[in-house]
Every structure is written in C-alpha cells, then in structure tokens.
Amino acid sequence: MNIAERFIRYTTYDTQSDETAVMTPSSVGQRAFGLTLCHELESIGLEEVQQDKNGYVTATLLPNGEGKEELPTIGFIAHMDTSPDLSGKSVNAHIVHYLGGEIPLSGQGGIRLSPDMFPELDNYRGQDIIVTDGTTLLGADDKAGIAAIVSAMEYLVQHPDSKHGRVRVAFTPDEEIGRGADHFDVPGFGCDWAYTVDGGALGELEYENFNAASAQVRFKGRNVHPGTAKDVMVNASLLAMEYVSWLPPTMRPETTEGYEGFYHLTAMGGSVEEAWLSYLLRDHDRIMFNQKKDVIRMLAERMNRKYPGSTSTTIEDQYYNMREVVEPQKHIIRLASEAMRAAGIEPQIKPIRGGTDGARLSYMGLPCPNLFTGGHNFHGRYEYLPIPSLEKSMLTIIKIIESL
C-alpha cells in the first residue's frame, strides 16, 4: 500500500477527541483506530505491539545489524485524534492533480480552496494534493504523521540491507484537547530521545513552542429590577466587557506572529448576576509568559478596587517551551537537519505557535522536537496535504534512523 492510500484509509476513522469526556481516550473512535493500527503494525513486521488500557499504541522495530543494538533507541510519535473544531466523521478525502487556480471542494456550498485565500497553494502546482469535500476537516493533523511513521517502518522491514538500531513508535490519544501526554509511559517507552511527527509544511523542524496557560476570569454582579437599578445594579456582563477592553488589542492571535505572545479570548458568557471569560495565555519567553499571568491577576485586582469583591481568577499552566530541554542536546536537531538535507529538503527551523505532545514529553524526560508532515490549514475545511510532502516526511524518518 502506498502512503497516500494508507493516509486516505486512516481518514475514514472518526477519531475526534472530546474535551467534555472524562475517559481516556475521550472518544471510542480513537480506541477502535488504535486497534486497527496494532493489527497493521503486526502485519508489517513490528514487535512488542500493544494498545494499553488508556488507548496508547506502541511498537518496536528491532535492530538488524551487527553492533546496532548498541545504538541509542529513538522514537517517533504521532497522535490519533483529530480536532473538535470541525467534524471528522464521513471524511471524503480524495486526490486532485493541482494545475493552479481554485479547487472546488463542495459544489452545493460553493466552497473552494483558493490561492487568493491561501497563497502557498501555488507552491504545489503540478502535484497531487489530498483534499476533502469541504464539509469536514481532513485529519492530516495528525493522521499524516501516523501514515509517515507506519510507511517508514514498513520500508525498513522490507529493506533489511538498511541497517538500523532499535526504534520505538507511539500513537497517542487526545493530543488536540491537551491530554496526549497524560498517561504516556516515558520509562516504558525506553527511548533516549524521540520526534513527534506533527508539524506542517515541507521542511518544518521545530524545537521551540509556546509556554502555555489557561485563565478563567469570573465576575459577580448584583441584579435588581431595572426600574430601580440606579446606583444599585452591578452588571457582571458589562464588567467582563470592561475587563476585556483593558487587555492590549496588539496582543491577540490575529495581531501577532513569530515569537510574539498573546492573550486569546476563547469563550465568554454570562448574565447580569454572573459572567466569565476563558483565555489562553501564550509566550515563548518564560519571563514574558509569567508577566502575562501577572497582568490577568493585576487587572482583576484593578476591577476589585473599582467594584469591590466582583472579580476572581484561576490560572493553570499547561506546558512549557521545550527549547529549555532540547537545546542542551542540540545533536538531536542536527541529526534531523542532516536527514532532511539527505532527503533533498532544506530544513525550516521555526518556533511553533502552539504546542505538541513533545513539549510535555520533553519535561517528562523525553526530549522531543517536531517534524513536518506536509499538511496545511489544519483544523478546518480547507485542510490539504500535498502527497510529495507526505512522502518526504516518510523519507526524513528513514534517513534519521539510517543516520545513527
């Protein structure tokens, strides 16, 4: 089976994670997909294949050459779930040969993938691209990573002349809802280091990510009949609006790029009596990250001085910048960069404006940079995957393993 066929088959599994669920995996589709992957890994010749009680799938490619068992054990990790942002059910993934211009996705809805909206699409003229029908996401995040890893393992099993050390693979649940590393058995995985295969465009190599926290800001109002409200009513929803106005508009996701951090208002609600705001706080720099948390608290104190007893905050750290762990072991990045060049790719080293399982795993003792899959426009109906980029992702994995 070629890698594109493998990926398209993977997209038929509905594996959306569910942040409201308390079980692991958070959706039954992930466990079913994991069992399918176990059967596939066994069929291509991997050993020690298992799915644990939390749905994590692991397997081993055994060393195959004299002295190769003495090499470091490295791992490759991808996640099985797709984003809750858009349906992943009944995905109609298909291949188009792109010659330029717009790609019609949905005739009825008039949904089109256009270089006017996504200029990078022009980079793939003359290539085969996998798209959806515009009613669902594609799921390249991260089924493309799984397809690249499985295809690389299959190649190495089928080419015993390619000598290598011990390699471990893992497929995790619930990465999209921030739980992908919750039950990851780092000692049991037994790797010196690993790579998540969860990046975007061709050549991306990432070992810096945001420091991340969530913040909840709650407001308590005082509701009375509006006819007698003068100097008595305190409208909690208006307090929330006032609080939002105090945060700088230049520090939102839609106004930042590169290393710039942000305050991201993800949800809000309320009434006169009570209101709430949910924020994501992000920054690559640890000092500026902590300053953002301080600002959330400081503005609550300011609100309480103006409206006594009205405002409270809860802030929880989510993950930290893996650079602090990976940079002291820069040979991991050099190895991946050299492997990309051997595959005919110029590495594009850039910070992740987000996070991966690798960020948390790095702080759990498993240094874990991130490799590209080739996909674009993750989490939405305009997601697409150039097949040559996916093939290069697979080749990069093979070259890393062969380079040790």
Q: What share of the chain is helix, strand, coil (3-state, %, to 5)?
A: 35, 25, 40
* Annotated catalytic residue, options 18, 40, 175, 283: 175
> In 10-46, at which residue ranges do the beta strands (DSSP E only) sit?
none
d(CA 40, CA 236): 55
| CA distances for 191 relative to 8, 13, 205, 363, angstroms | 30, 29, 20, 14
Give the SS3 label for residue 253.
Answer: helix
Q: Exposure of 109 by Cβ count < 10 A (0-12 exposed, 13-18 middle, 19+ buried)?
A: exposed
d(CA 102, CA 333): 37
81: annotated active-site residue: yes
Give the burial string for 320-350 (b: 16+ CB within 10 Å, else e).
Answer: bbbbebbeeeeebbebbbebbeebebebeeb
Residue 115 identity (one-letter amino acid): P
- The 10 Å Cβ neighbour count of residue 400 is 24
274-283: strand order across its sheet? 262-270, 274-283, 211-220, 311-319
The CA dihedral of 358, 359, 363, 369, to the nearest 10 degrees, is 50
70: annotated active-site residue: no
Q: Which of 295, 317, 171, 314 is nearest to 244 (CA)?
A: 295
Q: Label the pairing between strands 167-172 and 57-61.
A: antiparallel
| CA distances for 3 relative to 148, 194, 200, 353, 378, angstroms | 7, 22, 17, 28, 19
* Annotated catalytic residue, options 81, 133, 174, 204: 81
Task: Give me the active site residues, please.
Answer: 81, 175
